[in-house]
A = this chain, B = another copy of it.
Amino acid sequence: MNERQRARRPGGRSARVGAQVHQAVTDLISERGYGNFTVGEVATRAGVADSSVYRRWGSLENLLSDVALTRLNAQSPMPDTGSVAGDLRTYAAQVAREITGPDGLAVVRLAVALSADGQGPQARDGLLAERTRQMQSMLDRAAERGEQPPDVLDVLDHILAPMYIRVLFGMELTPDYVDGLVDRLL
Chain B residues with CB under 8 Å of A36's CB are 35
Query: Contact between B170 and A161 (Cβ–Cβ < 8 Å)?
Result: no
Query: Contact between A165 and B169 (Cβ–Cβ < 8 Å)?
Result: no
Query: Contact between B35 and A116 (Cβ–Cβ < 8 Å)?
Result: no
Chain A interface, DSSP helix/strand/loop, else mixed: helix
Q: A150-162, CB under 8 A of B: which get 1 and which 0?
A: 0000001110111
Q: How far is the CB of A78 from chain B (nearest CB, A)?
A: 19
Interface status of A113 (Cβ within 8 A of chain B)? yes
Chain B residues with CB under 8 Å of A121's CB are 170
Query: Contact between B161 and A113 (Cβ–Cβ < 8 Å)?
Result: no
Interface status of A34 (Cβ within 8 A of chain B)? yes
C-alpha gap A121/B161 in the complex (Å): 21
C-alpha gap A109/B162 in the complex (Å): 17
Query: Contact between A168 and B116 (Cβ–Cβ < 8 Å)?
Result: yes
- Given A160-B165, A161-B162, A33 contacting B118 (CB threshold 8 A): yes
C-alpha gap A35/B42 in the complex (Å): 17
Copies of this subunit = 2
Q: How far is the CB of A176 from chain B (nearest CB, A)?
A: 13
C-alpha gap A91/B151 in the complex (Å): 26
Q: A169-186, CB under 8 A of B: which get 1 and which 0?
A: 110000000000100000
Chain B residues with CB under 8 Å of A116's CB are 33, 105, 108-109, 112, 168
Q: Which 4 A-B pairs have the closest CB atoms?
A: A157-B162, A161-B165, A161-B161, A35-B35
Show 19 residue pairs from A and B whose CB-CB distance is below 8 angstroms, ordered by the A residue: A33-B34, A33-B35, A33-B113, A33-B119, A34-B35, A35-B35, A112-B112, A112-B168, A115-B170, A121-B170, A124-B169, A124-B170, A125-B170, A128-B170, A157-B181, A161-B162, A161-B165, A161-B166, A164-B165
